[in-house]
Structure 1
Amino acid sequence: MEQNQPQLVIITGMSGAGKTVAMNSFEDLGYFCVDNLPPTLLPHLIEVIGQVRPKIAVAIDTRARDFIDSFFVVYEDLKKTDLQTRMLYLDARNDVLVRRYKESRRSHPLAPTDSPLIGIERERTLLEGFRDKAQMLIDTSDIKPLALKERLLKEFTEGTRIPFTVNVMSFGFKHGLPLDADLVFDLRFLPNPFYIPELRPKTGLDEEVASYVMQWPEAKLFYKKLVDLLEFLIPQYEREGKSQLVIALGCTGGKHRSITFAEAISKEFATQYHIETNHRDYVHAKEEK
């Protein structure tokens, strides 16, 4: 696909075949994603959103069954424009879909009081037209979610994966744990520069504070062990398909020790990974000066 041309991907297919994984994948690729949109609203969405977000992904399935007939009229009209439109249809064998419904303990949306198989058969009938018109059909019966994500990333970026990002965050425990952290390390066992009058108003971004924090044998040893651990862990997270890994380093106020270590870890891995450094409570640190 030409990158400057507006793009629309329509995600459809059987319930339980992987549409949620697909939507998450397109979000990672920078698409503006909308789930369960009535097809008649598609032109309005493209008109409003397409000006600022040229890549749009929309999931349409039997939850919008009252609008299914209107979809094909809208779809044919869209194909007459300069909008690059592709339809992705996700399917799976009946036995696999039944198993997935039983594992999730959900009822089928088309058979809330009947067996999942009855709903699956009804859905296949309703979606026949979608399957026939789809440019890309993926049977997920024997595909794990990670493999599906990898395939979509490869297909819709022409073989180029989005960068894996390591977000290194400093924070203060007194301001609360970061809810989005994958790994949290507590630095409160190290000597605290807060109790040194001339260092108290400074932060870990200042050389005097960083030198003080890193001068202690336990700080040097912990840093070495932390680097060794991260050298092992980061590739494992990347291999599992994560697009971002958040490493949080905390001290009491998020001002001295955590910032020092976050800066050091960011520099340590800067040549290996795409690093984003965030000092979450730096605003508090400046206020406390």
Structure 2
Amino acid sequence: MTKERLRTNPHQIVIVTGPSGAGRSTAINALEDLGFEAIDNLPLSLIPRLLDGPPLERSIALGVDVRNRDFTTKALIKLVDTLQKRTDAEVSLLYLNAREDVLIRRYSETRRPHPMAPNESLQEGMRRERELLVAIQSRSDAVVDTSDLSPHELRDEVTKLFASPGYSGLSVLLNSFSYKRGVPHGVDMVFDCRFLRNPHWEPELRGLTGTDKKVEDYVTADDRFHPFFEKIIDLSVLLLPAFHDEGKSYLTIGLGCTGGQHRSVAVAEMMGKALANKGWQVSIRHREMERRAKPGVGGT
């Protein structure tokens, strides 16, 4: 690896290349999880057109290898030079490599012919590919040897190189909801808040929501609230690093109550602040409040 971190500009164009079987797809997926727009195997001659029009709104990850229609060593190096002249975004060439025995094992597992030798031996295809790519490797901004890396470890290496400042590696969505309408699709963990005393039965609180201070104070005054809240924060802080190490990029935690307007909303808001203070990237969605806000949709 020739650079420890490649992310000085807000927008980046990362070109990922290397021999077949070195982990290009895994790296592209990792960049996509970091918020990059991922484009794989676009012909080299079409890539400069991505810069036509308004400035980039997102960073771009481009997968390029010998399968590209007009791929040559000269064409790829020229492309890098062209992009660097045409954009203020940081342009980086990431080269993934691996030992020949590892590439042979990985490629054999796919049972597909090598693109450089469709009717010949796998070794012959790899030899031609390495000869074609040697000049590109020497030109690359970062070289990662994936021989002894698991997919999770490769994702970590890509994250270290290209993640934005302050990126935690795991995005947490807190989703409050009403059990009357069911648990939201795709949640990873659910905490039931229905045992807490219900502001709905207080006339002055019924029309408010869990985002209001009066409702928060009412919920937190329940003797069972603080032990419950401390335990769900402790459990989350224990599990979030484990989910991150497993390679998970997004985690959704559901918080439910009867109507999805008071208790679950208040707990989600407080939980979001607590996790954000511990350095996690948190977003919050209140499903029933969103539903109530839509024209023609009533609440409970």
Amino acid at match of 2:81: K
The residue number in structure 2 matching 1:288 is: 299
Residue 61 of structure 2: which of 33, 57, 62 is its match? Answer: 57
Q: Deviations over 1:203-237 (max 9, x none)?
A: 21234433443444444432232122123223433
The residue number in structure 2 matching 1:152 is: 158
Cα distance in 1 between the residues matched to 2:42 and 2:147: 26
Cα distance in 1 between the residues matched to 2:113 and 2:288: 45
**What's the secondary structure of 1:253's corresponding residue?**
coil
Q: TM-score with structure 2 length normalisation?
A: 0.74
Matched, 1:27 2:38: no
**What's the secondary structure of 2:71's corresponding residue?**
helix
Amino acid at match of 2:233: V
Cα distance in 1 between the residues matched to 2:29 and 2:49: 23
Question: How many correspondences in the alignment?
Answer: 280
Q: Deviations over 1:54-101 (max 9, x none)?
A: 74321012443x4224x7336425415525543322222344345445
**Larger CA deviation: 265-274 vs 237-246:** 237-246
8 Å CA contact 1:202–1:209 kept in 2: the answer is: yes
**Are residues 54 and 214 of structure 1, via their aligned partners in 2, closer, same or farther at CA, if it must alter by over 3 Å?**
closer
Residue 40 of structure 1: which of 28, 37, 45 is its match? Answer: 45
Cα distance in 2 between the residues matched to 1:120 and 1:58: 27
Matched, 1:125 2:125: no
Q: Deviations over 1:217-275 (max 9, x none)?
A: 44443223212212322343345555554322122332122102101212333322243
Superposed counterparts of 1:4-15, under 5 Å = 7-15=12-20
The residue number in structure 1 matching 2:148 is: 142
Cα distance in 2 between the residues matched to 1:155 and 1:270: 23
**Larger CA deviation: 255-264 vs 52-61:** 52-61
Matched, 1:225 2:231: yes
Identity within the alignment, %: 36
**Are residues 156 and 284 of structure 1, via their aligned partners in 2, closer, same or farther at CA, if it must alter by over 3 Å?**
closer
Cα distance in 2 between the residues matched to 1:120 and 1:197: 77
**Larger CA deviation: 32-41 vs 265-274:** 265-274
8 Å CA contact 2:45–2:70 kept in 1: the answer is: yes
Cα distance in 2 between the residues matched to 1:157 and 1:220: 36
Cα distance in 1 between the residues matched to 2:127 and 2:194: 58
Q: Deviations over 1:81-136 (max 9, x none)?
A: 5255433222223443454456xx6432538xx99x94464255245323421313
Matched, 1:162 2:173: no
Amino acid at match of 2:282: I
